[in-house]
Amino acid sequence: MAKDKKKDVKKSERSVRPSIAEQGARTESSSTKLTDLQEAQTSAAVSDKEPEEVEERPVQNVPSYYEEPVLTQLIVKSICGGMFSEGFMHGQGTYTWADGVKYEGTFVKNVQMFNGCYTWNDGSYYEGSIENGLRHGFGFFRSSTHPVSYIGYWYKGKRHGKGTVYYDREYTSWYSGDWLNNVKEGWGMRCYKSGNTYEGQWEKNVRHGRGRMRWLTDNQEYIGQWVYGIQHGYGTHIWFLKRMPASQYPLRNKYIGNFVNGERHGRGRFIYASGAVYDGEWVCNKKHGKGKFVFKNGNVYEGEFIDDNMVGYPAFQAGAMDAKELNAICAGSRFGTEFAVLRHITALRRVYSFYSSLGCDDAHDNTFLMTRLQFWRFLKDCQLHHSNITLAEMDRILSGDKTPLEEIHSPYETLLFRTFLSHLIHLAFHIYHKEHKDKGPYLSKCFVEMVSRNVIPTACHIQGILFSEQRRTVFALSYIDKCWEIYRAFCRSNTRPPFEPTMKMRQFLWMLNDFKLLSKQLTASRLVEILVKDGPSLHDSSSTNLEQELVFLEFVEALLDCALVYVTNDMIKEQVDHDNQKRSNFRVEDFSEKTTNVSLCPEYSLSQVKLIQT
């Protein structure tokens, strides 16, 4: 019997080695390194200079992943556990080579399969899915000699799919996102040891496509297009200035426009922290060509710039408003209006700060710039639309003659604080001038009337659904660009000058009908109730005016209100049951390249992370 056992063992050994030799030997070449895009540093010498691209030293310039052994070139030291089937290793077992490399896991006819653990003699470790001896599926790797670890998906021994790599033991330097054959490719987020971050698209291990880079060390941020690691294309660059709340200049330096090879080049707009604005042509970071410069005191120069300087003496312009209207409302009352504004400047600055921060992330410099979307919310909260002027008509009143038609009702237009004050004065005149036209210089009286009756009592008390709750706001604003596309697609040219695109309530109703969203719950009459609930002048006991225009804020809030009616508890329960049923079909025991939905948690080993698969 003993002789028979020895023969069986020898026969088994002879069958093991050729089978393992066929599996391909290596998961990846030792020459493969974790190439890492080096972080761009910025120069803070001048506030409106672009950050200079300076490569940061790599965290570790060493191979981060190791060869798995060519099994046929090694001497097998021991085989523990498991079973043999037809002379092959089959089932759970431990396989140790003479140089100390060990594999613990599942064998299928001499081939490492499904899930297992590799331990190298230097202490490096891999645990996860394996196919044909290669890392394949979801797994975790940690180097013992270098502060590098990776958790995520593999494909035939290479990082491929979603995954996170950490470059230090403290997890302060990392990349999380898409991989393609060991290369960062697709969407991902990179956090550097300095705290600077990049989130966006990658190609061949460098920033490429649309993304956002935050230089926290230099208080700068860029959002826009990248071409192989360089700002190139359309984007927005911001220079943050740390200051106390309610400082003199509640703005930040911001450039919005075209970049070429990391420099402002082409058409662009620069908003200075002082309130000055330049809109025009740039060449190599300098104002050069045709442009318009608005000084912080409101004076305007429009003309030629050469090498960052104005050509000739500035011929200042009064502004975009019609001269006759300006004379009509300002004659004899200039200083009275200024004093009226100054008396309420603290309250108005507080109101501006409140509404300009709605739906925004925390800012490094305590500074926010109001958008038209937020301005609409302010007007509705102050019930200024309850007068005979709608929000759409207010947009037309406040737009200048040179405003492009498609931007008259744009929610993305920004308002400086001085523009906000100017808008209030204009609206005060149009709303209250009939009440004070026989009382002498009446512009200041109109302004005081609006501030005391509308602004101070009701401002900063959010009424609409969009900004009323933080989590809802964050979720809704993530769809704001798509909603704007839909809104514009259903707008029609106005029948009155200036004939800009606009949407009416009737068109909104037709839109929902086209999308087949009207139901037993969301009927046409229920929809009309939603549309007119904040406009008391829109309906009476017998009829409703569906020719009323909707600005984009009203459109979005109507959609949200409709969603609350259309989506019933039964629909939510059905969706939850469907998701639960889908999850119940997942199995834990097997692994493959189809493995999905895994939490990437750096502090847990793979054995502590749930793996789910269809």
Which has the minimum average pLDDT: 183-197, 379-393, 402-416, 574-588? 574-588
Portion of the chain with pLDDT greater than 70, in percent: 71
**232: DSSP letter:** E
Domain ranges in the chain are: 323-463, 475-567
Name residue, tokens 């459109």.
555
Which has the minimum average pLDDT: 15-19, 151-155, 271-275? 15-19
What's the pLDDT score for residue 191?
94
Q: How far is CA 310 from CA 272, 290, 292, 374, 510, in A?
A: 17, 10, 10, 35, 52
What's the pLDDT score for residue 455?
93
Q: Are strands 277-283 and 111-119 parallel, antiparallel or unpaired?
A: unpaired
The candidate with the shortest Cα–Cα distance to 137, out of 608, 590, 519, is: 590
What's the pLDDT score for residue 347?
92
What's the pLDDT score for residue 279?
93
Model confidence at 18, in pLDDT bands (50, 70, 90)? Answer: very low
What's the pLDDT score for residue 382?
92
Half-sphere exposure of 221 (CA within 13 A, CB side): 17
Mean per-residue pLDDT, 325-346? 66
What's the pLDDT score for residue 218?
87
Mean per-residue pLDDT, 345-374? 85
* pLDDT for 489 beyond 60: yes
Q: How far apart are CA 416 and CA 420, in angstroms?
A: 6
What's the pLDDT score for residue 19?
34
Half-sphere exposure of 536 (CA within 13 A, CB side): 6
Mean pLDDT of the chain: 76
Between 234 and 2, residue with greater pLDDT: 234
Mean per-residue pLDDT, 389-403? 87
Mean per-residue pLDDT, 269-292? 91
What's the pLDDT score for residue 244?
58
What's the pLDDT score for residue 22?
38
Q: What is the pLDDT of residues 212-250, one digit of tens each?
A: 999 988 889 999 999 999 999 999 999 887 765 555 556
- Is 460 in contact with 351 (CB distance < 8 Å)? yes
What's the pLDDT score for residue 249?
58
* pLDDT for 76 beyond 80: no
Model confidence at 34, in pLDDT bands (50, 70, 90)? Answer: very low
What's the pLDDT score for residue 363?
66
Q: How far apart are CA 264 and CA 278, in angstroms?
A: 13
Q: Quick one: tokens of 330?
A: 């300002």
Cα 221 to the center of its chain, rounded Å: 13
What's the pLDDT score for residue 84?
54
* pLDDT for 524 beyond 50: yes
Secondary structure (3-state) at 256: strand
Which has the minimum average pLDDT: 42-51, 527-536, 565-574? 42-51
Sequence letter at residue 491: C
Q: What is the pLDDT of residues 546-560, one digit of tens each?
A: 888 999 999 999 999
Q: What is the pLDDT of residues 362-388, one digit of tens each?
A: 666 667 889 999 999 999 999 888 888
Write out the DSSP string of 527-590: HHHHHHTT-TTSB-SS-B-TT-EE-HHHHHHHHHHHHHHHS-HHHHHHHHHHHHHHHHT-BSS-
Q: How far apart are CA 225 and CA 237, in angstroms?
A: 11
Model confidence at 49, in pLDDT bands (50, 70, 90)? Answer: very low
Per CATH, is 475-567 categorized as 2.60.120? no
What's the pLDDT score for residue 230?
93
What is the pTM (predicted TM-score) of this model? Answer: 0.59
Query: CB under 8 Å to 334, separation ≥6 — which residues?
Result: none
